[in-house]
Amino acid sequence: MKVRTVVDVFTYITGALCIVAVSGHIPFMYPLLLFAAMTLSVYLDVKKVSIPRWILTVVSVAVILYFLIRIDVQDLIGHVMEAIFVLMGIKYLERKEVRDFMQIYALALFVLAGLGLMTMGMAFVAYLLVFFLLLSLSLIFLTFYSQDPEMELTNGTVRTMIARCLWIPLLSIPLSAAMFVILPRTSYPILTFLNRPDKARAGFTDNVRLGQVSDIQEDERIIFRATMDRVDESSLYWRGITLNHFDGTSWKSTKPGIYTPARARGPIGTMVSQTIYLEPYDNSSLFALDKPVHIEFRRARKNDDLTFTIPGFIDRRIRYTALSALSNVIPEENIALKTHLQLPADLSPRLVSLAKGLAVRGDRNATVQRILGHLASDRYSYSLKDLPVSKNPLETFLFDSPRGNCEYFASAMAVLLRVNDIPSRLVGGYHGGYYNELGNYYLVPQKNAHVWVEAHIPGKGWVRFDPTPAGAAFSSGSGRGVLLRFQMFVDTINYYWYGIVLTYNLERQISITRTIASGLKRPSSFSLSPLMKKTAQYSALLAAAIGLVLLARLLITSMKRRERAVLDRFLKRLEAAGYKKHASEGLEEFLRRIGDDDLRRACMEFAREFERIYYGDRGFTADDLKRLNLLAGRIDDVERRTKSSMADLTPGR
Amino acid sequence: MSISGVFGKTNLSKLDLTIDFPQEIYAGSRVPVKITMRNRRRFLPAFLIGLHADRISALVPFTPVKGTSSVYTGVTFHERGLHAIEDPRVYSVFPFNFFTRFKRLRLAYTITVLPRLKACDLASLYRKEGRSRGERTSDRIGYDSDIVSIREYVRGDPIKYIHWKATARTGKLKTKEHSSLSYQPVVIEFDRVLIRDIEERISCVAYTIVQLLRNNVPVGLKIDGRLYPPDVTAVHRLNMLRELAVYEKHG
């Protein structure tokens, strides 16, 4: 097989890989164009014709100019990728020399880099690996081609070469992984500006609008994952935002002030720490379990309603740690009454009379319970379909069409409370989530977006109430059916990919270094699970055993080798003097060939001594070896003497 | 990069190289050289090993583990005499053609390059003097001269040598055996060849020796006070040519 053929095959596979990898990420036309070019190239190769280089060069320049003119900063990567595909296609059409192949590989590398910026998913890693293996092999065969374009190899040789040379990329994978961990990195991503901003996700919004749509689509996409231990399902309220201004159809958030510790005591409850991987979405709230106490994230701002925000939108995947006190009460006394009792001026009289009817004079607690009880009655049911669409949606919900989602229930409750002079607000966030046992994290999809109510009860503070009937699909079960379990498994892999690889930054590096350093200082604090401990113990034992066996073997062979080494040195000296022992010759037989009498005598002496011990009934002692070395050394003396006498005889000296 | 470096380094380790030269190498003519590569490694085949030794360069694309492979290459030596080929260098661009790695092998070859053969009229002079063949009858069997004996026909004997009379007489095919004519032995006295330029003279003498021996003329050589008595064997020829090859080079 011609090396050229192998190189060709690898190069076409590389092109095919590029096509497969980007399909779906850039307009379909471009991969198709590359495919057509590749097909044409195969045809040209077979027919042994080629398109003149200058034509293709002109076309390439034209393509580059075209893409430069219509370049778009919004989707820089996409456009660059498209251009690369066209250029790659042209490259395939050229009569390919070594540099052309190299250029094709370089373009393919760009395609892959672009793909990395576009997706960052696990698939990218798979493509990267395949491409890496392919590229290494291609380069090796290209090296062969560059040395001799006409070189032919047998199929067996090609197979052996592939099998052996694959080790180069394979061995470099662990090395690269180590590099990934060690190499310093900034906490400010440099290349994010190249990122195509992810599409905004519906679900959580910073306002609640009623009466606009009748059907709500459930969005299965994931909004965040939270690494933490499992907690009671009733506390799975992920706080995001508070809404306190109602204008009759929608709730809005008045800009909350910065949290000041003097104004309120912190919530009291079990402290739970979470590490949250938040997907990009078009808002600025950071989520954490109710009630968040602290969020560790650059630029995160803690607001006085115990929500956290960052300036600007969350336009890329972020990771932060949050500390929450599991409690449904915020012990806060001095609240802005006016804000939290605000109601629209044109509130429906029916609603007001319903609210008054539910009041228990002088007992706020009982009033809250009655309102809650009213909404929990069979009259009202949870639904995402046929929602009330009207100008006065809350009235329609409460009296005419008692079906709604959490937004209706929460709005209704908050308004009913406010009519009764009980300060209240809506809290937006998520409720529930699937717990993934494999990865120890909660998976929260968009459809779990939720709104609940906080009412201010004197003496207690802000108390959480959730008027939405159970049965809303916030299931946090960990195993509902095989499909879900499989989805969870797939998500676990994704989770680790995001958690370990993509969000790896300077911060993590420092923390890992610290952990290792402290572990080295105080080994006892380096806690291992029992399974790990046992594994470590057994591996240590096994390693020790193997080590002992190897040591014993080394000792035995070295004993044997010592006399062999003496003999070898002896023979080497003779070889330097011009006498070489053939493998088939006996030692004495060989020595008898030596012409020089003095030398032969000296050698014989050594040989006799050696044989006496070698064929004798005892092994070589250290003394024997020393003596033998001394005897062998005499050869050099004899040799030196001979040489000097010869030098004397040489005329002119 | 580092892994490829390790592979590149390993690729040049544990290699044995032998270079086989033909017995007669004449200056100025291209001769084939056989290069045999032996790979003593257990894991990695030897890839793309190039060889640089004096004028010899070759490329051995692939040598399997614990195996050998050989390539032939041509080489031209332009000057007669002893040529030492020392410490040949092997090199390789394996694996990625980014770097070329060299390694010196501890090997030494000494080869004698025989003088360039240059047609000259020494032989014609010789012929002009009438010392052609026929002057001496040798006792060797040939096809030239008198019938020495008659023997049984052996397949392959030319028909013209069949002794028809004897065949008819005995009823079996008989072949004539003739004696061969040999040439008058010649001794070339190097110092008395009248060509001033030493190199020219050497070339001429060498050519004459080769030509005469090709025609089975026993040739001797007197050079530097040494005499090579006339003979026709290959060893003798080589000895004379070697003498010419190193003439004035060593003394």
Res A403: pLDDT: 85
Mean pLDDT of all residues in A137-146:
90
Pair (A256, A117) in one structural domain: no
Of the residues A474, A490, A506, the one at which a domain ends:
A490
Contacts of A168 in chain B (CB under 8 A): 3-4, 7, 95
The answer to whether residue B37 sits within a structural domain is: yes
Lowest mean pLDDT among A85-94, A134-143, A283-292, B145-154: B145-154
Distance CA B58, CA B81 (A): 23
Pair (A342, A475) in one structural domain: yes
Contacts of B66 in chain A (CB under 8 A): none
pLDDT tens-digit series, residues A346-387: 888 888 898 888 888 888 888 889 888 888 888 888 887 778
Residues in chain A: 653
> What mean pLDDT value characterizes chain B?
83
Contacts of A153 in chain B (CB under 8 A): 61-62
The answer to whether residue A413 sits within a structural domain is: yes
The answer to whether residue A192 sits within a structural domain is: no
For the purposes of burial, counting CB atoms within 10 Å of the CB of A429, is it exposed (0-12), middle (13-18) or buried (19 or more)?
Answer: buried
For the purposes of burial, counting CB atoms within 10 Å of the CB of A442, is it exposed (0-12), middle (13-18) or buried (19 or more)?
Answer: buried
Pair (B142, B55) in one structural domain: no
- For the ranges A362-366, A446-450, B59-63, the maximum mean pLDDT occurs at B59-63
The answer to whether residue B161 sits within a structural domain is: yes
Q: Which amino acid is at A368?
A: V
Distance CA A567, CA B241 (A): 42
Pair (B57, B162) in one structural domain: no
Res A39: pLDDT: 93
Rounded percentage of chain A residues whose pLDDT exceeds 90:
13
Beta strands A308-309 and A461-465, pairing class: unpaired
pLDDT tens-digit series, residues A282-316: 788 899 998 898 998 888 888 888 899 988 888 77
Mean pLDDT of all residues in B34-47:
89
- Distant-in-sequence, close-in-space partners of A143: CB < 8 Å, separation ≥ 6: B48, B93, B94, B95, B96, B97
What single-letter DSSP state applies at residue A482? H
**Cβ–Cβ < 8 Å for B218, B185:** yes
Contact B62 A165 (CB under 8 A): no
Lowest mean pLDDT among A348-352, A463-467, B192-196: B192-196
Q: How many CA atoms lie within 13 A of A605 on its CB side?
A: 15
Task: Determine the 3-state secondary structure of A622 from DSSP.
Answer: helix
Rounded percentage of chain A residues whose pLDDT exceeds 70:
87
Res A200: pLDDT: 39
Buried b (16+ CB within 10 A) or exposed e, A469-502: eeebebebebeeeeeeeeebeebbebbebbbeee
Pair (A324, A374) in one structural domain: yes
The answer to whether residue B206 sits within a structural domain is: yes
Contact A146 B2 (CB under 8 A): no
Q: How many CA atoms lie within 13 A of A540 on its CB side?
A: 6
Distance CA B96, CA A291 (A): 58
Of the residues A438, A456, A490, the one at which a domain ends:
A490
What element of type H or E holds A351?
helix A349-358
Contacts of A167 in chain B (CB under 8 A): 7
Of residues B244 and A220, more confidently modeled: B244
pLDDT tens-digit series, residues B67-89: 999 999 988 888 888 888 888 88
Contact B44 A164 (CB under 8 A): yes
Pair (A221, A369) in one structural domain: yes
Pair (B127, B220) in one structural domain: yes
Pair (B73, B159) in one structural domain: no
Contacts of A142 in chain B (CB under 8 A): 97
Pair (A138, A174) in one structural domain: yes
Q: Which of B6, B39, B47 to mutate to test the interface with A (most CBs of A within 10 A)?
A: B47
Pair (B239, B144) in one structural domain: no
ipTM over 0.85: no
Res A50: pLDDT: 82
The answer to whether residue A529 sits within a structural domain is: no
Does the N-terminal peptide bond of residue A91 adopt cis geometry, omega within 30 degrees of 0?
A: no
The answer to whether residue B219 sits within a structural domain is: yes
Question: 């006085």: which residue's tokens?
Answer: A304
Res A114: pLDDT: 85
Does A477 have pLDDT greater than 70?
A: no
> What mean pLDDT value characterizes chain A?
82
The answer to whether residue A30 sits within a structural domain is: yes
DSSP per-residue codes, A133-197: HHHHHHHHHHHHHHH-TT-B--HHHHHHHHHHHTHHHHHHHHHHHHHHHHS---SS-SGGGGSPP
Q: Which two tokens stand for residue B91?
A: 């090199």
pLDDT tens-digit series, residues A508-546: 777 777 777 766 665 554 455 566 777 777 888 889 999
The answer to whether residue B152 sits within a structural domain is: yes
A156: nearest CA partner in chain B: B64
The answer to whether residue B250 sits within a structural domain is: no
Rounded percentage of chain B residues whose pLDDT exceeds 90:
5
The answer to whether residue A244 sits within a structural domain is: yes
Pair (A474, A383) in one structural domain: yes
B48: nearest CA partner in chain A: A144
Pair (B51, B71) in one structural domain: yes
**Cβ–Cβ < 8 Å for A96, A5:** no
What is the span of the domain harbouring residue B9?
2-114
Rounded percentage of chain B residues whose pLDDT exceeds 70:
88
Lowest mean pLDDT among A185-194, A259-268, B97-106: A185-194
Pair (A65, A142) in one structural domain: yes
Domain count, chain A: 3
- Chain A interface with B: residues with Cβ < 8 Å: 136, 139-140, 142-144, 146-148, 151, 153, 157, 160-161, 164-165, 167-168, 171-172, 175
Pair (A174, A217) in one structural domain: no
Q: Is B3 on the interface with A (CB under 8 A)?
A: yes
Of residues B41 and A187, more confidently modeled: B41
Contact A161 B61 (CB under 8 A): no
Pair (A472, A590) in one structural domain: no
Pair (A60, A173) in one structural domain: yes
Distance CA A505, CA B52 (A): 50
Contacts of B4 in chain A (CB under 8 A): 168, 172
Q: Which two tokens stand for residue A348?
A: 């429906």
Contact A140 B3 (CB under 8 A): no
Pair (B103, B9) in one structural domain: yes
Mean pLDDT of all residues in A135-139:
91
Res A9: pLDDT: 92
Mean pLDDT of all residues in B27-46:
89
**Cβ–Cβ < 8 Å for B9, B41:** no
CATH number of the domain encompassing residue B52: 2.60.40.10
Distance CA A433, CA A342 (A): 33
Q: Sheet of B25-26: strands edge to edge?
A: B25-26, B108-114, B81-86
Pair (B196, B170) in one structural domain: no
Res A147: pLDDT: 86
Q: How many CA atoms lie within 13 A of A255 on its CB side?
A: 4
pLDDT tens-digit series, residues B115-169: 888 888 775 655 544 455 555 555 666 666 677 788 888 888 888 888 899 899 9
Of the residues A490, A512, A532, the one at which a domain ends:
A490
Cα-based angle A181, A182, A183 (whole degrees, multiple of 5): 105
Res A652: pLDDT: 45
Does B216 have pLDDT greater than 80?
A: no
Pair (B163, B193) in one structural domain: no
The answer to whether residue A191 sits within a structural domain is: no
**Which band of pLDDT confidence, cut at 50, 70 and 90, is reported for residue A562?**
confident
For the purposes of burial, counting CB atoms within 10 Å of the CB of A22, is it exposed (0-12), middle (13-18) or buried (19 or more)?
Answer: buried
What is the span of the domain harbouring residue A47?
3-183
Q: Where are the beta strands (DSSP E) in A284-364?
A: 285-286, 288-289, 292-296, 301-302, 308-309, 318-326, 329-330
Does B63 have pLDDT greater than 50?
A: yes
**Cβ–Cβ < 8 Å for B205, B193:** yes
Any bridge partners for residue A428, and if so which?
A241, A451
Mean pLDDT of all residues in A200-217:
66
Res A36: pLDDT: 93
Task: Determine the 3-state secondary structure of A618 from DSSP.
Answer: coil
**Which band of pLDDT confidence, cut at 50, 70 and 90, is reported for residue A40?**
very high
Residues in chain B: 251
Does A504 have pLDDT greater than 50?
A: yes
The answer to whether residue A637 sits within a structural domain is: yes
**Cβ–Cβ < 8 Å for A620, A564:** no
Distance CA B174, CA B157 (A): 10
Mean pLDDT of all residues in A472-478:
49
Distance CA A80, CA A30 (A): 12
Q: Which among A420, A474, A475, A436 is positioned nearest to A452, based on CA atoms?
A: A474
Q: Is B94 on the interface with A (CB under 8 A)?
A: yes
Pair (B107, B190) in one structural domain: no
Pair (A262, A381) in one structural domain: yes
Beta strands B108-114 and B68-76, pairing class: unpaired
Of residues A205 and A418, more confidently modeled: A418
Contacts of B94 in chain A (CB under 8 A): 140, 143
Pair (A161, A214) in one structural domain: no
Q: Is B220 on the interface with A (CB under 8 A)?
A: no
Q: Which two tokens stand for residue A77?
A: 């990567």
Distance CA A86, CA A64 (A): 9
Res A522: pLDDT: 56
The answer to whether residue B44 sits within a structural domain is: yes
Mean pLDDT of all residues in A119-139:
85
Pair (B108, B194) in one structural domain: no
Pair (B47, B104) in one structural domain: yes
Does A13 have pLDDT greater than 90?
A: yes
The answer to whether residue B232 sits within a structural domain is: yes
- Treating both helix axes as pointing N-terminal to C-terminal, what angle do A167-182 and A155-165 enclose, rounded to 10 degrees? 20
The answer to whether residue A321 sits within a structural domain is: yes
Domain count, chain B: 3
Res A649: pLDDT: 58
Mean pLDDT of all residues in A609-628:
82
